[in-house]
Structure 1
Amino acid sequence: MKYICIDDGSISELISGREYQSIDFEEGDRLIQALKGRVQFLARIGKITLFQDGEGAFLTTHGNWKKKKFLVIDCEQSSLFTQLRSSETLTSFQKLLRFCTKYWSNNVLNASEKIIFGSTKAVLFPLPYSNASPFRIAIERAPLHERLKKRDMDGSFLLVYKSGHEGADSTNEVANEANIRRVVDRLADIYRTTAEAAKGSTLAGSPSAVGSTQLDSTAVLGRSIHMPFREWFPLTTTPQKRFIYSSADTPHRLFGAAGTGKTLSLILRALYLLDRAERASETFHALLVTHSEATRESIANALATIDTMGFHQRDSKQDSVALKVETLASLCADFLGRSISETEFVDRDAQDSKILQQMYIEQAIAVSKQLDYPSFKLHLSHELKRQIDSLSDADLAPLIQHEISALIKGRAGDSFEVYKRCPSLMFGLNISNDADKGYAFSVFKRYQEQLEKSNQFDTDDVVISAIGQLDTPIWRRRRIREGFDFIGIDETHLFNINELHVFHHFTRKVGNFPISFTMDESQAVGDRGWNDSASLSELFGSDNKTAPEITEYSAVFRSSPAITAFSASVLASGATLFTHFKNTLLGSQSVFTPDEERRSQPVTYREFSDDDSMVEEAFTIAENLRGETNSARYQVLITTLSDQIMEKIREHTIKTNKAVTYLERRGDFTKVKQAERSGHLVAGHVDFVGGLEFDVVLIVGVDRGRVPLEGETEDSNSRNYAAYSAHNRLYVAASRAKYALEILGVKSRGPSDLLLNAANNDLIKGVPMI
């Protein structure tokens, strides 16, 4: 095609339909293929009537064409649809359409939309984040000026005449107007032809190529996860449909960044398989496994609305088709119920269990430093000695807990001889020789003594014990009756290697692996004991004969384009520093409609004189943003990466009697519901916000020395672990926000280095540049 002409009515249709925002939707993918000239347009797309021939394409809507405004894309000059990947092309096209509507209605332009002073040109930078020279689109705002002025149509056309990564002298360059002249000459005939087509006849020679299903985009806006099962399927993207409808007989990895709908897809997949089995009068038992009790409660609450067939309310021992939702700890606990009493579990909730584990390990470190460290010190590597001497017991505890779970219990099975042969973890303790491992093992033994004194078992003990009882002839005979035909694992990135090893034992058939699992590796802090997500199917018992299926989501539903771009910059800077850090937002697309974008605010950094004024003003800013985004109080979150700041927030709310509900564990859905009923704001440490979403998020104390946390140590491995963790936690916190993200810091400290990458790319306002 030489050109594409789109009238203002068609632009309104295309930008308001969520299905045209991402190539993950079939409609969006087919639209971009048509724009690239690979397929032809349909005669109709909703209210849009199309005409296409060898010259070009016209997207028209009903009405007098002389009173309309037009965007003309010169495909020959601009090469707009041939330079980028399909996802980036669609994003650029949508941003171009939105610029047109703002320009014609004299609305305020954003930082990526620039009118060139002293010229008739405009330049658009449509892609949200790039380390390279940004992609740009050049627009002539007054093409055919004299000719159109005579026809009283001056100002009715915008011409895209150039695109690419290279800059130019926009004030002096001249656009070739040959193609737009052809467009203007044809408009009268085109509108007569499309008016006839709009009456119901389909244009000859126009095969079905662009979205045959017109979604009610306004109905999609603002919908929550709580909708009946069958109402979801018309609203799912092509990758989501592929995952939901895929075979249950093989392992299936579902990748996606925060806010891409992974958990919802897992729920719909389980319900689809159960519904299919019931229609076929087959026996089918499904299991959904979560990492924490809070997430389990959240999924159970969603199922109360989505599962209209009531599968989750059935008993698998009595009903032939049933769904069970469990945490891994409760699943193993139920299985081991005859061997371990309730009081012997550290905690059935994996998240709470690991917090208690850290407390026990901190006590073990104190004892080991006093009794074991003096004899080990002469033989330890310089790096580990510096780490032990410079870090407090509280700071050492998570590193040693990581070593115990992933290596000593996970790979070595409590055996020191096996542990010595295990390669060291990528992040954590500075282990480099046998003496180092000997000291770590001595702390582990002190920790085990703590458990034995209290007569308790931690999560790793429970899982390893469960594996021991599951990997027996007795269970292999029973599993045909008690096993599951489908297992869905949510947030696999939160499980360590011990926990992942147990799942394949719960399938109904030996050698069959109907396990689907969701992942966002950017949310996993440190090395989980497995270094390659591609090998996870082996942890689930893959025999290497059945290739696991892989689906990756790129459409981000939760966050605004500005928040998605900021989150991507955090991940990109982390990926630059750490080879093991994943940027799961690379190539992502926001599917926000203009109505949602109008509620969205720019990502902003604010500085204050001290901690007290910063905490006090956080609540004022929260109320202001709540009004600007038209949000309820419970949809506003105040969070922090700092334990010290979290304590100050609590003290302030008590002193001023603020109406605030605090999160007490990760994904604390019940506390958010409590805040909704009470009309409270929500506050909580960043470690508790995963799995939740809010309209407005304030992250307090993101300044130098606190994010990442810098102690007195000069140990590089400890600093690396802190930096790795800080990138992860900042991404998790930022990606909870839908419409507004505000970041606060103290002026004397200066902004955290983690914000500089975003500031250099104009993705956050207010960061002072040095």
Structure 2
Amino acid sequence: MTLSVLVIDEDAVGILDAALIEDAWFSDFNVPANAVGLRRVEIGSVVYLLSKKADLESGLLVVQIGESGVFASVTKPRSAFERIVRVALRQFNRSISLPIQWQPYHEGSLLSVYAEPISRKNQHRIYFDQAPAGSGNVFAFGVTDGPQVLRQVPMDIASYEAAVAGLLDALTIDQPTQDPVGNFGILLSAPLGAQLSGSGSLEEWYERKLSEEQLKFVDQPNDRPIRLRGAAGTGKTQAMAIKCLKDLYADADAGGDKTVAFLTHSSALAHEVVRGMFYALDPSARWAQLQTATGRPKLWIGTLYELAQEQLSYEKKGLQPLSLDGRDGRELQRMLIQDAVEVVRKSPRTALGMLSECQDMATRIQDGNARANLIEDLMNEFACVLDAENVRKGTAEADRYVRGAREAWQMALPTELHRKIVLEIHDSYRDALRKERLLSMDQMIADFGRYLSTHEWNQLRDRDGFDLIFVDEYHYFTRVEAMTLQNLFASRAEHSGRWPLFMAYDLKQSTNDAALGGRLERFRNPGVGESVPVELKQVFRSTPQIASFLRDLDASFPAMDLEGEFDTYAGQSSKTDGDVPSLITFDTGVELIDAILDQAGIIARSIPGGGSQVAVLCMNEELFDLYRSAGRTQGKFVSVTSREDLRELRYARSRCVFSMPEYVAGLQFDTVFLVHVDQTDLSDEYLSQGARRRYVSRAYLGASRAARKLVIACCVERGGRSVILESPLRNESLIETTA
């Protein structure tokens, strides 16, 4: 009999969320006999996947399958299933949010999201009822090729009711298990964050595994802001996760009603890595089940963007935030800025006026070879200065922007005329956003900040605000984002003018200048009182040899007055010795990528964890896009082009990971090939000190992902090795080898 409905209880949903699933699984939904905590029962055309905890009171995910079901027409069934699971997790745990990129749309209890990463060919949307027949279950009932009115999509409620009615029989039937031998298209595994966290319960970490530095942070009282600073690999996120759970449980055990927020700058980092760490520390997932007396989850995990989206309900207003957390979002922003530059270049008013009087800016705009660096500088200027400071042409803020002093890290705009031209480009860019009904992330946060100062939020603050807030990757937060944090606290969280905000950061990992806008006082006093510093210096990720390379690379950072927050790298590795990082020089880029991908494939086939432990990270964005789409490279890697792609790492097998450093921040790999560390990218005469810092930060971030083996690659046709490698070569923390 053809299967028509799939029923999964809420605990089984959590198990399947961490599973490795192939497209073949969607024909029969089989699980092997040795699947821990999961069994399959088939009754008529309904298949039940049930956990050991399943009972008649369990929440249920019900999915319409078969020839007319949700997997029948989608291009990537696995991607669609992962999104269905995420919607179900949110149904059963309100602290989970849906990524902005999925473009969720609500109408009453109905919900729709994109079934897979959207493209011109793939625009399928999945439809859910989050209260079918008045229940607390979730029913995935349909799929369409493109958006439709939710209430016009057919729903077979009779099949849902019949499937739910059969749950009692499914719980009592003891069907023969599947043969444990064979390919079932599914492999149950630990979440990504659990793999990064390593073994050990919360108690074991606290009692024996934390370093003295980490323990000092975890034991800090919750009556003040704390800033946790440390180099890459010093265990900042691990310490934050342990303190978060420890403080959460201490309050719950004492009968308290405190709520906690754990914020990151990336949705995937929050939901794949941080949640995985929590599962590793406490597999019972008590942290996901704790609620206040009013039924609100005591722990909320996600991004500031997701929190803003919840409060402002953009999807109900027909507005779409522009995601910059990924290659697609950056490419869309790049295209809009390029169009804005063209408008300014062709407009008689600006072409015959400002540009005719500012020759070097006119040259940058008209020179195709200089255009890429110009767009990169403008993207950074818009995000970290103009949008972050709410600067608009014709306002008092714009006048201060034009006439005010500039920091060394900012885009080189030496005269008032240069800055007026940038304001013209920015104004055209904002016009394009309005026409497309898009909001930049900075505009969204600016709106959120204003909402948090309204009388409405003042009334809701003690109900919806938080008592403790943890912020990981604080170096990616702009000044405007940082300023919103104080107003997220419930008023009861204040202790003599100080608020319990816990920040983890490493300025040298920041590949944009978000952290530098508005000076660095916000690290010491982020609007919530003077913070207490805790420094981590012991490196747990990398070998002493890689740590030595990072120390020497540190010398390449431009000398910048960053108020004591840009200290010399001081990481000391606690791991055993490994190979000295090596440098390979190729004649051409084609030779480089062919040889490196071959080497990466050989290593991927020989080490535990396979390709998910081998990363090829490209320093140049244009070359990354070129190689990613080239026919000669297909089938050799799993491409990670946004943090949302992190789940794909589980499917790497013998293929390596191909990405850019910023998209794998927070992760670690056994082996890293950092490619195209070329001098050409530093040779632009208009390159600002800030652009040089961002370049070194990208190299530092990429190299610090390596735990055991690090290989640097450059090519002669792009100027040979970058000057930032000279100090490591001199000190022999980097050695030259041949391919």
Instruction: Determine if the TM-score, normalized by the shorter chain, exceeds 0.5.
Output: yes
Establish whether residue 420 from structure 1 lines up as the match of residue 399 from structure 2.
Answer: yes
Out of 673, 680, 688, the residue aligned to residue 705 of structure 1 is 680
- Residue 727 of structure 2 is aligned to residue 744 of structure 1: no
Could you tell me how far apart the structure 2 residues matched to 1:226 and 1:366 are? 54
- Aligned-partner Cα distance in 1 for 2:429–2:692: 27
Once the 2 structures are TM-superposed, how far is the Cα of residue 223 of structure 1 from its aligned partner?
7.6
Helix, strand or coil at the partner of 1:358: helix
Determine whether 1:270 maps to 2:244: yes
Residue type matched to 1:533 in 2? L
Give yes or no for contact 1:283–1:320 (8 Å, CA) kept in 2.
no
Deviations 1:728-755 (A, max 9, x none): 1111110000000011222464322111
Q: What is residue 294 of structure 1 aligned with on the other side?
A: 268
Paired position in structure 2 for 1:714: 685
Cross-structure match for 1:370 = 346
Q: Distance in 2 between matches of 1:359 and 1:378?
A: 21
State the match for 1:324 in structure 2.
Answer: 300
Which blocks of at least 5 consecutive residues in structure 2 are unaligned? 1-194
Structure 2: how far apart are the matches of 1:264 and 1:541?
25
The secondary structure found in structure 2 opposite 1:284 is coil
Report the alpha carbon displacement of residue 226 of structure 1 after superposing the two structures with TM. Answer: 5.7
What is the number of equivalent residue pairs in this alignment? Answer: 529
Matched with 2:99 is none
- Cα offsets for 1:655-683 (capped at 9, x unmatched): 365442110214843122232xx443111
Contact kept, 8 Å, 2:585 with 2:713, in 1: the verdict is yes
Specify whether residues 692 and 474 from structure 1 end up closer, same or farther in structure 2 by C-alpha distance, changes over 3 A only. Answer: same
Which amino acid in the other structure matches residue 303 of structure 2?
A: T
2:15 counterpart residue number: none
Q: Does 1:505 align with 2:474?
A: no
| Equivalent AA in structure 1 for residue 620 of structure 2 | S
Instruction: Give the equivalent residue in structure 2 for 1:470.
Output: 452
Residue 241 of structure 1 corresponds to 215
CA–CA separation in structure 1 for the residues paired with 2:430 and 2:565: 34
| Partner SS, residue 680 of structure 2 | coil
> Structure 1, residues 216-243: CA drift from partner, whole Å, max 9, x if none?
xxxxxx9834643222112001121111
Match of 1:311 among 279, 287, 294: 287
SS of residue in 2 equivalent to 1:501: helix
Secondary structure of the equivalent of 1:697?
A: strand
Per-residue CA distance 1:120-176 (angstroms, 9 max, x = gap): xxxxxxxxxxxxxxxxxxxxxxxxxxxxxxxxxxxxxxxxxxxxxxxxxxxxxxxxx
Alignment correspondent of 2:53 = none
| Structure 2 CA distance for aligned equivalents of residues 759 and 360 of structure 1 | 41
Q: TM-score, normalised by structure 1?
A: 0.64
Letter aligned with residue 530 of structure 1: G
1:568-607 superposed matches below 5 A: 568-576=551-559, 586-593=569-576, 597=577, 600-607=578-585
1:515 aligns with 2:501: yes
How far the C-alpha of 1:521 sits from its partner, in A, is 0.3
Residue matched to 2:641: 664
* Paired amino acid for 2:592: M
Tell me which amino acid in the other structure corresponds to 1:446: S
Query: Unmatched 5+ residue regions in structure 1?
Result: 1-221
1:758 maps to a residue whose letter is: P
Aligned to 2:378: 400
Deviation at 1:260, TM superposition (A): 0.7
Q: Paired residue for 2:470?
A: 488
**Equivalent-residue separation in structure 1 for 2:482 and 2:353 (angstroms):** 34
Structure 1 CA distance for aligned equivalents of residues 371 and 563 of structure 2: 27
Indicate whether 1:554 and 2:537 are aligned: yes
Q: Is the 8 A contact 2:554 2:568 kept in 1?
A: yes
Q: 1:739 to 1:447 in 2, by over 3 A?
A: same
Aligned CA distance change for structure 1 residues 623 and 581 (closer, same or farther; 3 Å): farther
Return closer, same or farther for 1:561/1:578 CA change in 2, 3 Å cut-off: farther
Distance in 2 of aligned mates of 1:413 and 1:378: 21
Q: 200, 204, 214: which one pairs with 1:231?
A: 204
Matches of 1:720 and 1:537, distance apart in 2: 24
| Residue in structure 2 matched with residue 682 of structure 1 by the alignment | 657
Q: 1:615 aligns with which of 589, 593, 597?
A: 593
Q: State the Cα distance separating 1:623 from its structure 2 match.
A: 4.3
CA contact (8 A) 1:368 1:442 kept: yes
* Kept after mapping to 1: 8 A contact 2:213/2:536: yes
Give the counterpart letter for 2:704 in structure 1: S
Q: Quote the residue 2:727 is aligned against.
A: 757
**Aligned partners of 1:604, 1:582: CA distance in 2, in Å?**
30
Q: What is the CA distance between 1:334 and its match in structure 2?
A: 0.6
Q: 1:521-568 deviations in whole A, cap 9, x for unaligned?
A: 001235334364343354x423xxx43111110001111111111112
What letter corresponds to residue 515 of structure 1 in structure 2? L
Secondary structure, in 3 states, of the residue corresponding to 2:232? coil
The yes-or-no answer on 1:347 pairing with 2:318 is: no
Amino acid at match of 1:685: M
- Change beyond 3 A, Cα 1:552–1:532: farther
1:514–1:290 CA distance, 2 compared to 1 (3 A): same
Q: Which position in structure 1 is the counterpart of 2:432? A: 450
Q: Does 1:333 align with 2:333?
A: no
- Identity, in percent, stands at 22
1:690 Cα deviation (Å)? Answer: 1.6
Q: By how many angstroms is 1:496 displaced?
A: 1.4
Q: Which residue of 1 aligns with 2:191?
A: none
User: Could you tell me which amino acid in structure 1 is paired with residue 202 of structure 2?
Assistant: F
- Counterpart amino acid of residue 411 in structure 1: E
Structure 2 counterpart SS, 1:525 = coil
Amino acid at match of 1:698: F
Alignment map for 1:191-270 (pairs within 5 Å): 224-225=197-198, 227-233=200-206, 234-270=208-244
* 1:729 maps to 2:704: no
Q: Following the alignment from structure 1 to structure 2, what is the Cα–Cα distance between the partners of residues 230 and 359?
A: 50
Question: Could you give the per-residue CA deviations for residues 74-104 of structure 1, whole angstroms, max 9, x where no partner exists?
Answer: xxxxxxxxxxxxxxxxxxxxxxxxxxxxxxx
Partner SS, residue 345 of structure 1: strand
More divergent stretch after superposition (619-628 vs 692-701): 619-628
Tell me how far 1:686 sits from its aligned partner: 2.9
Counting only pairs closer than 5 Å after superposition, residues 516-555 of structure 1 correspond to structure 2 as 516-528=502-514, 529-530=516-517, 532-538=519-525, 540-542=526-528, 546-555=529-538
The SS at the match of 1:457 is strand
CA gap of 1:332–1:656, structure 2 versus 1, over 3 A, is: closer
**Native 8 Å contact 1:333 1:340 kept in 2:** no
Which residue is 2:620 aligned to? 642
Say whether the 8 Å CA contact 2:326–2:643 is kept in structure 1. no
Change (3 A) 1:625 1:754: farther
CA shift for structure 1 position 485:
0.5
Is the alpha carbon distance of 1:624 and 1:584 closer, same or farther for their aligned partners in structure 2, counting shifts above 3 Å? Answer: farther
Alignment of 1:20-99 (within 5 A): none
Partners of 1:644 and 1:350 in 2: CA distance: 15
Rg larger for: 1
Deviations 1:559-588 (A, max 9, x none): 111111111211122145887896556322
Code of the aligned partner of 1:447: Y
Q: 1:617 to 1:659 in 2, by over 3 A?
A: closer
* Residue in structure 1 matched with residue 610 of structure 2 by the alignment: 632
Q: Distance in 2 between matches of 1:324 and 1:239?
A: 26
State the AA in 2 paired with 1:733: G
Paired letter, 2:520:
S
Secondary structure, aligned partner of 1:463: helix
Contact map agreement 2:640 2:658 (CA 8 A) in 1: yes
Listed one character per residue, the Cα deviations across residues 618-639 of structure 1 (whole Å, up to 9, x for unaligned) are 1333245557876632200111
Alignment of 1:419-438 (within 5 A): 419-422=398-401, 423-438=405-420
